Amino acid sequence: MWEWLIPVLIVVAIVVIAGIYLWATYNSLVQLNVRVDEAWSDITVQLKRRADLLPNLIEAVKGYAAHEKAVFENVTRARAETLNVAGPAEAGVAEGHMQQALKSIFAVAEAYPQLQASQNFLQLQQSIVDTEDKIQASRRFYNGGVRELNTKIKVFPNNLFAKNLGFSERDFFEVVDGAAISEPPRVQF
């Protein structure tokens, strides 16, 4: 008489387990997605901080090397490009250009001992170095979050339903021109 109850309970148990699994997976994907968004926000804050420091650095160097117009234009262009990025892929390209521009402005500064002795220039230089360190730390945190999220989306059985739930893989923040950051801007005190 109760023989039909066992198969029904098995089906109900399977449905409940599958529901719990979907609920837990969805929530963990949401958490990872939010963590990646937060990490990207941290990167944009640091990029903006660096961009805010650059006009002061340009003015300090201009006072000693006004004839280096091309260097200042490159830094200004790289700054604008950095401020107008829409995502990690564009930011990677902009970051390569920014690193090249910073190297060139610091190379110009090396030719002027009076500039290197300027307290204002030294403070700006130190602030930029500090910001560069923060950008690198934020980048590592972001890329770690992206790695976790992308892995969670790609593993079986999550790959069967993650995209249907609105989750997609995210781009890593990688500098397109690796040679541009292989050596950080040289700062001498």
pLDDT-derived band of residue 131, with 50, 70 and 90 as boundaries? very high
pTM of the model: 0.79
Would you identify the CATH topology of the domain 13-181? de novo design (two linked rop proteins) (1.20.1440)
Three-state DSSP string of the chain? CCCCHHHHHHHHHHHHHHHHHHHHHHHHHHHHHHHHHHHHHHHHHHHHHHHHHHHHHHHHHHCCCCCCHHHHHHHHHHHHHHHCCCCHHHHHHHHHHHHHHHHHHHHHHHCCHHHHHCHHHHHHHHHHHHHHHHHHHHHHHHHHHHHHHHHHHHCCCHHHHCCCCCCCCCCCCCCCCHHHHCCCCCCCC
pLDDT at position 180: 47
- Check whether 188 has a pLDDT greater than 50: no
Question: What number is the average pLDDT over the span 131-154?
Answer: 95
Q: Regarding predicted confidence, which is higher, 99 or 69?
A: 99
Question: What number is the average pLDDT over the span 88-114?
Answer: 88
Give residue limits of the domains in the chain: 13-181
- Check whether 26 has a pLDDT greater than 50: yes
Lowest mean pLDDT across 5-14, 59-68, 88-97, 140-149: 59-68
pLDDT at position 14: 96
pLDDT-derived band of residue 31, with 50, 70 and 90 as boundaries? very high
- Check whether 182 has a pLDDT greater than 70: no
